[in-house]
Amino acid sequence: MKLKQIEIDKFRSIDYISIVINELAVLIGENNAGKTNILKALDLFYQDSVRGINEEYFYFKDQNQPISIFLTYDRLTEYERNQKYLKHWIHNISIKVKKVIEWDSQSQKYKMTLFGWQAKPKEVHFDLSRFDEYKSRIKEIVEINILPEYFKTDKGTVTQASYRQGVLKYIKEGKVEFGDPGWIMNPGGYKEVFSDLLPRFYLVPAVKDAQDESKTTQQAMLGKLLSDLTNRIISKNPKFKEVKKQIEGLKKYLNKSEEGEDSERLQEIKDFEETLSSIICENMPGTKVGIEIVTPELIDLFKDTKIILDDALPTSIDSKGHGLQRALIFAYIRAYAKTISTIETEEEIFTRNFILAIEEPELYLHPNGQRKMMNVLRNISVKDQVLACTHSNFFVDMYDYQNIIIVNRDNSGPTNIFQVTEEIFKTEDEESRKRLKKTFRYLSLFDLSRSEMFFSKKVVLVEGDTEKFILPFWASRLTQKDKKYDFSSNNICVIECGGKTNIHIFMRVLNKFKIHYVVIHDIDPIDFPEDKENKTDQEKAKLRMFKENDFIEKTLDTNYGCIIKIKPELETVIGISKSQAEKQGKIGAAFFKYDEIGVIDYSNEVIKILDLIINWQEENNIIEISKRNNYV
């Protein structure tokens, strides 16, 4: 079972959002956009009590509006689908649950209520959500309907507890008929059955004390992972039976058996027990003292685990720096993921998935460390699920755009999200679609900086490296004169598309994500008629490049994009001769020319291009700039 969809209503800065989750979800956005609130909402759903909840959890601190968190799970395993009790939870091959947190003005306390989207029993006396309506008649109901003996206690009486347990068992046996689904408050069997099937949830906050996370309590990361890992070992590794047998063997040396047998019990314990009994009998005749030593479970053996790090100086984790502390938390995760993948078993047994939520996995990691961490998260997501909030493009793969969730917020307004779950290239015929996707794949692998476009408010799409270098260079020089040209403060990035023929691919992505952009490309005019017969191979290549102009225009979505067409090409318009380009390279020639002159001597064409990028005020979305006309 895996998480399919998250819906959050009235939580912190979130009015309402809905997110579709695959195996790996990457949340990106500016600081204070609300990315963390999404992960905290998930954490709140998995929280069992209202402990720690305060007014800051509510939508802009308005406690009159209850918090609602809806989760939908799908990808159920055959084991899960075959659970009789789960059958009435499953609709459209998925399971839906809801948790509501509200302020009770009468009791002056917070209240947490769970709801399940379930088919309701057609007979009311099997609907535990309406138990209060018939609890006074449960003895009569058992007798009239001739219900099984397990509806009663061992003494043959019908109690509320025995009736509830009886209903759950009756449902599990498939003897209860269900009708249409609806939200059922506090559905019976949630804690007993369903909650044990839900994926576990682990949250790693951005700033976390590794010493706390190194404890083996169930609230700490290491404790949770050890518990989960131990449960997997118990279910899959036959050697555990030997360990369990050895632990059970301790009992005969420490305690009496249930039958009172103590022939193998340690004599020292028996002597001490007799001494205590004889002494207490002096004051309280007939009183005996019995000593029973609680033997540990397997997980108890890990309770005093200590983490020592040796980086030339062996010390405990709390004395290390934040970078090493955070690296250790991720090491827990990596070791856990690696270990569970190597556990083998002779038979396939149900294994519970987990959801790993991480804030800023890039913290304290150098670039190569970030690459390694992204690979770790990908590996974990093969079997389980990962949700990561990040400001680093190392964790964003533009090819897997369906995993990207853009989180934004207008000033002090509510948090909004945007994601594209549909196929961007679905309008193409199958052969063209495969070609475009393959091209898009290699473009995403070749230059990771292209993923920066998802972090930007405006993107400038250019053909090659010359434009990628010279546009920010011009802007940085002009910023010294006028701050409006500062690309950083305007959150503008320049993306090199790997050639003119690839520009339309990036335009398609930006159109779908509704990110504003400006395309800058050469017109590459031809000096022969388009319908010329017997074209040379060179003329055919020139014609294909010229026709790309129309293709780019057809791809343009005027709601988000604009086009600057350079005639004939950028080098000519900005005054770079062919001899300079050949001698110094195009990038070098552009740099040396504009580094040696003051911004007051920058050409009108350069200023016009930058003005259009910063603030497009033209009536048309397509502008042509040439050396002769400036622009038309």
pLDDT at 59 over 70: yes
Q: Average of pLDDT values for 211-221?
A: 57
Count of alpha carbons within 13 angstroms of residue 38, beta-carbon side: 33
Residue 556 neighbours by CB distance under 10 Å: 18
What is the gyration radius of the CA atoms in the chain, in angstroms? 34
Angstrom distance (rounded) from CA 333 to CA 524 = 53
Angstrom distance (rounded) from CA 216 to CA 221 = 8
Angstrom distance (rounded) from CA 369 to CA 36 = 23
Answer with the residue of higher pLDDT: 85 or 211: 85
Answer with the residue of higher pLDDT: 60 or 346: 60
pLDDT of 191 reads 63
pLDDT of 401 reads 93
pLDDT band at 484 (very low <50, low <70, confident <90, very high): very high
**Closest to 451 in 3D by CA, of 403, 519, 387:** 403
Residue 193 neighbours by CB distance under 10 Å: 17
User: How buried is residue 245: exposed, middle or buried, by Cβ count under 10 Å (0-12/13-18/19+)?
Assistant: exposed
Q: Is 396 left (phi over 0), alpha (psi -120 to 50) or beta?
A: beta
DSSP codes joined into one string, 364-420: T--HHHHHHHHHHHHHHHHHSEEEEEES-GGG--GGGGGGEEEEEE-TTS-EEEE--
pLDDT at 289 over 80: yes
Take residue 452 and report the two structure tokens written for it: 């920066």
- Helix, strand, coil share of the chain (percent; to 5): 45, 20, 35
| H or E element at residue 94 | strand 94-104
Q: Average of pLDDT values for 438-461?
A: 89
What is the distance of C-alpha 168 from the center of its chain?
34
Beta bridge partners of residue 71, listed in sequence order: 6, 97
pLDDT at 279 over 60: yes
**Closest to 447 in 3D by CA, of 434, 433, 462:** 462
Task: Specify the pairing of strand 561-567 against strand 516-522.
Answer: parallel
Q: Average of pLDDT values for 397-425?
A: 92
**Closest to 413 in 3D by CA, of 63, 60, 64, 67:** 60
pLDDT at 343 over 60: no
Of 290-299, 522-531, 554-563, 620-629, the one with minimum mean pLDDT is 290-299
Task: Specify the pairing of strand 404-409 against strand 415-418.
Answer: antiparallel
pLDDT at 414 over 90: yes
What is the number of helices (H) and of strands (E) in the chain?
Answer: 19, 20
Highest mean pLDDT among 29-43, 106-120, 345-359, 415-429: 29-43
**Contact between residue 17 and residue 417 where contact means Cβ atoms under 8 Å apart:** yes
Angstrom distance (rounded) from CA 592 to CA 176 = 82
Q: Average of pLDDT values for 303-321?
A: 72
Q: Average of pLDDT values for 277-302?
A: 79
Q: Would you say the pTM of this structure is higher than 0.75?
A: yes
Answer with the residue of higher pLDDT: 324 or 112: 112
**Contact between residue 307 and residue 292 where contact means Cβ atoms under 8 Å apart:** no
Angstrom distance (rounded) from CA 560 to CA 513 = 10
**Contact between residue 23 and residue 354 where contact means Cβ atoms under 8 Å apart:** no
Provide the residue count of the chain: 632
| H or E element at residue 168 | helix 160-172
Chain position carrying tokens 């691919």: 505
> Does the domain made of 425-626 have the CATH classification 3.40.50?
yes
pLDDT at 375 over 70: yes
Dump pLDDT digits (tens) for 159-215. 999 999 999 889 878 888 888 888 888 776 566 556 777 888 888 887 655 555 555
Q: Percent of the chain having pLDDT more than 70? A: 86
Secondary structure class of 274 (helix, strand, coil): helix
Dump pLDDT digits (tens) for 551-583. 999 999 999 999 999 999 998 899 888 899 889
Domain residue spans of the chain? 126-176, 240-299, 425-626
